[in-house]
Amino acid sequence: MTDVSDEEFAAELVGTHVLVGLTHMDRAGNVLRKEQFHGKVVRASVKEGVILVDAEGQERWVPLDREAFEPAEPGEYRLRSTGEVVVDPTWLTTWTVHPPEHH
């Protein structure tokens, strides 16, 4: 991968189609649920992260981390939760969501 700054990568993401996979965990490390969604990136910056608009028109957020975004192979991706088919997304990204720590 070319050596681009995070801000340059953020600018590259704007206007692209991202397929997101989230795995929600509980404090004990058990999977609570898995979620998939996709959308077009409308804003991205180091400060704000990546904002995309999903199929329902809702804004969704994921962190800006170049290592977590991989170019998607052309083709069809079926969402496990809904059966919806996503055709030719630009990027794939997956995240594991842990509950906040109690202090």
Q: Does residue 102 lie within any of the structural domains?
A: no
Q: What is the domain count for the chain?
A: 1
Q: Does residue 1 lie within any of the structural domains?
A: no
pLDDT score of 6 more than 60: yes
Q: Does residue 62 lie within any of the structural domains?
A: yes
- Residues 26-59: tens digit of each pLDDT: 999 999 999 999 999 999 999 999 999 998 999 9
Q: Does residue 103 lie within any of the structural domains?
A: no
pLDDT score of 86 more than 90: yes
- pTM (predicted TM-score): 0.89
Q: How many CB atoms lie under 10 A from the CB of residue 91?
A: 19
> Which residues constitute the domain of residue 93?
6-97
Q: Does residue 67 lie within any of the structural domains?
A: yes
